[in-house]
Amino acid sequence: MGKQLFGTDGIRGVAGEYPLDPRTIHAFGVALADTARHLNPDPEIVIGMDTRESGPWIADQVAGGLAERGVRSRLAGVVTTPGIAYLTRADEFVAGVMISASHNPYQDNGLKVFGHSGFKLPDEEEHGIEQEIFRSLESNASEPRQKALTVDPGLDQRYIEYLLSTVAVGFGGIRMVIDCGNGAASHLAGELFRRNGAEVHPIFCEPNGRNINLNCGALYVENLRQIVVEQRADLGVAFDGDADRAIFVSASGKIVDGDAVLLIAARALKAAGHLAGDMVVSTVMSNLGLEKALARDGIRMLRTPVGDKYVLEEMIRQGAVLGGEQSGHVIFREYATTGDGMLTALRVLETAKRSGAGLDELTQDLKVYPQRLYNVRVRERKPLTEMLAVEHEISASEKALGSSGRVLVRFSGTEPLARVMVEGPELAQVEDLGQRIARAIQDEIGVK
């Protein structure tokens, strides 16, 4: 049987409702404690959270479940997801728990678990924890008991010190705007970049428990873009709620997404002789323009299904040091085991400072091909090969685009949707082909 609670990024839901109700969270703490005791007779677990109002009580319930089995916990307070991943592997913690729903609205929350390696737990371990949670709930073995935690103020500072240790050049003379999405980076990012010499103008760095990701952060960069241009800043960077992704704005107001960051980073690494295998790992959603720009520099791009989990798995399999997604998750394996928005920003600023070039110059030859995504609500998931009309439209579109475009049709892993992505040199053609395929799917298996 597959996992029922854990998705591709932990357990997620509405805070206070199953599976993020007090009883289930407490049972999660108990189950995690039992798992930890198999690894270490005297385990300790680090807990962090973003700025959602539900974070503190969820942390106390997790700690209560751990304490019931005699497992100690330390609270890092408000810290980023990659911060917890770093602390878990850098210290003697058996595991780390991050309480966050990333880019979701404040009503949601989630539980992400990292092993001592700094990587998210393998599927089989998550499945084992699930089974323990269900057993605990069915037996009513324990009632939820909170354990009030106090923040260890040294933990987030250890993470900041580590990030600073990865930078070999100061940022003096760089004027930047940072949008922290009223999330986990709100009290960390400004300190990080100022300490390395940058002049920082912060926006959306005043969380109140309910304004995380609210028309700000990596998914809503228009405010950042306007302020960068008005202030004549050198660049802007926006983080999402748990700061594992970053989206940039150039001095001219151009959006520099994860694809463009991969190009900047890949070229810098190759020039330094550090791009293992001359390859980059990205997903099927990365723009064809990135693939062509990398190819001009002799760099291969390997594609995976959507999800930073799949990117990381392929990086490990291939021995790649750089990978990421268009959405701004970028993984630098030399420094981190997960996407890290603040680390990504350090690498981008370091490259800009060393080269004396801004983001406009560093991405000027990246031609972004028009790309359109169409979602069709479906009543069933039928193999594409069994739908002749759909197959015909896909084949005709691929023939029309040739090597100058791409067609990707897949079913969503979480919703009853068929997703149609078409990419090519001309927007009108892309839209026409995408709509043809979407109509064929709608006629065959769409919800009437």
Q: Which residues are catalytic?
A: 102
Q: Following DSSP, what letter does each residue of 30-43 receive, concatenated?
A: HHHHHHHHHH-SS-
> In this structure, are residues 347 and 355 in contact, taking their beta carbons and an 8 Å threshold?
no
State how far the Cα of 422 lies from the Cα of 418, in Å rounded to an integer. 13
- Spatial neighbors of 158 by CB under 8 A, at least 6 apart, are 87, 90, 91
Which residue from 366, 363, 342, 362 is spatially nearest to 176, judged by alpha carbons?
A: 342
Q: Following DSSP, what letter does each residue of 123-173 receive, concatenated?
A: HHHHHHHHHHHHHHHHHT----------B-HHHHHHHHHHHHHT--S--TT
Evaluate the CA torsion angle 36, 37, 38, 42 in order and state its sign.
positive
One-letter amino acid for residue 172 of the chain:
G
Which residue from 193, 126, 152 is spatially nearest to 44, judged by alpha carbons?
A: 152
DSSP 107: T
Evaluate the CA torsion angle 12, 18, 23, 24 in order and state its sign.
negative
Which residue from 258, 240, 248, 206 is spatially nearest to 103, judged by alpha carbons?
A: 240
Which residue from 331, 313, 343, 321 is spatially nearest to 274, judged by alpha carbons?
A: 321
- Estimate the share of the chain in helix, then strand, then coil, as percent rounded to the nearest 5: 40, 20, 40
- Spatial neighbors of 443 by CB under 8 A, at least 6 apart, are 389
One-letter amino acid for residue 221 of the chain:
V
